[in-house]
């Protein structure tokens, strides 16, 4: 009787590369105000004095609504969570025409500015505070951005990673099922950057910015009637994964 030989062919597992995505929306916990006090003129001493005067007035407002001490009760009852300011910056230039040529008899122009980073905890006081700031000369609120606290972001990092991994696995299983493969297992997981310059970042917080649409100054009394509605802040992360299936 003639024997038949069977050749068993080993087929390498199929590699499936997918990206797992996780997104968690949360209500904003902080309002971040970008405030600038600046002036331009021919007298360096005059504009510097004017800017410094407005700075002192804003600092007085901020101190009154900042935590009185470092206790938890003081922090939770204060309107301001944190604020900081840059040092006074002064630049100068000689006016030029459209070709870059200095104008004849041109007088040197000076510009002086200070920027404030202000973080509001109590949103119900945001409109009132913005109204007070708007009365200060040479003052401009560039934007209000909504954000989460670092404590909240850190609390969700682990959950975001797990959600992204589960999403990647489900995607890989979907491809395997469509190709009539039954076994799926991971072989590589890599945290991916998503809009971040930090190579170690695993989470991106999208702080939605809201422009004021107009300059804020003491000539804009309507600003006092503005109402700020906190926006949703999205925490997200993604991972690049490779799976094998057969």
The reported pLDDT for the residue numbered 217 is 43
Copy the structure tokens of residue 36.
């600038």
Q: Among 34-38, 106-110, 214-218, whose mean pLDDT is lowest?
A: 214-218
d(CA 172, CA 175): 5
pLDDT tens track for 1-12: 555 555 555 678
Does residue 212 surpass a pLDDT of 90?
Answer: no
C-alpha dist (Å) from residue 71 to 68, 77, 182:
8, 10, 58
If DSSP codes are grouped into helix, strand and coil, which group holds residue 81?
Answer: strand
pLDDT tens track for 128-150: 899 899 889 999 998 888 999 98
The 8-class DSSP code of residue 222 comes to G
User: Contact 171/165 with Cβ under 8 angstroms?
Assistant: no
Residue 227 main-chain phi, psi, to 5 deg: -115, 130
Average pLDDT over residues 8-33: 88
Average pLDDT over residues 93-99: 90
Average pLDDT over residues 9-24: 88
Domains and CATH numbers, the chain: 12-29+148-211+232-246 (3.30.110.170), 30-147 (3.30.70.2970)
The reported pLDDT for the residue numbered 7 is 55
As a whole number of angstroms, the longest Cα–Cα distance in the chain is: 115
pTM, two decimals, is: 0.73
If DSSP codes are grouped into helix, strand and coil, which group holds residue 61?
Answer: helix
At 177, which helix (H) or strand (E)? helix 150-178
User: Contact 46/111 with Cβ under 8 angstroms?
Assistant: no
Closest residue by Cα to residue 155 from 190, 195, 203: 203
């Amino acid at each position: 009787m003639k024997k038949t030989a069977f050749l068993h062919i080993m087929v390498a597992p199929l590699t499936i590369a997918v990206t797992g995505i996780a997104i968690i929306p949360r209500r904003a916990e902080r309002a971040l105000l970008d405030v600038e006090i600046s002036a331009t003129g021919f007298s360096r001493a005059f504009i510097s004095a004017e800017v410094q005067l407005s700075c002192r007035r804003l600092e007085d407002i901020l101190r009154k609504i900042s935590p009185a001490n470092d206790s938890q009760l003081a922090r939770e009852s204060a309107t301001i969570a944190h604020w900081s300011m840059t040092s006074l910056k002064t630049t100068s230039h000689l006016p030029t025409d459209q070709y870059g040529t200095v104008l004849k008899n041109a007088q040197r122009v000076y510009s002086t500015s200070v920027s404030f980073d202000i973080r509001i905890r109590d949103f119900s006081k945001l409109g009132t505070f913005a109204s007070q700031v708007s009365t200060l000369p040479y003052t401009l609120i560039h934007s209000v951005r909504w954000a989460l606290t670092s404590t909240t972001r850190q609390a969700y990092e682990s959950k975001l990673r797990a959600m992204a991994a589960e999403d990647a696995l489900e995607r890989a299983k979907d491809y395997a099922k469509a190709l009539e493969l039954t076994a799926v297992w991971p072989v590589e997981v890599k945290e991916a950057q998503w809009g971040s310059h930090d190579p170690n970042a695993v989470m991106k917080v999208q702080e939605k910015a809201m422009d004021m649409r107009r300059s804020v100054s003491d000539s804009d009394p309507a600003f006092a009637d503005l109402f700020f509605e906190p926006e949703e802040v999205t925490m997200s992360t993604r991972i690049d994964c490779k799976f094998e299936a057969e």
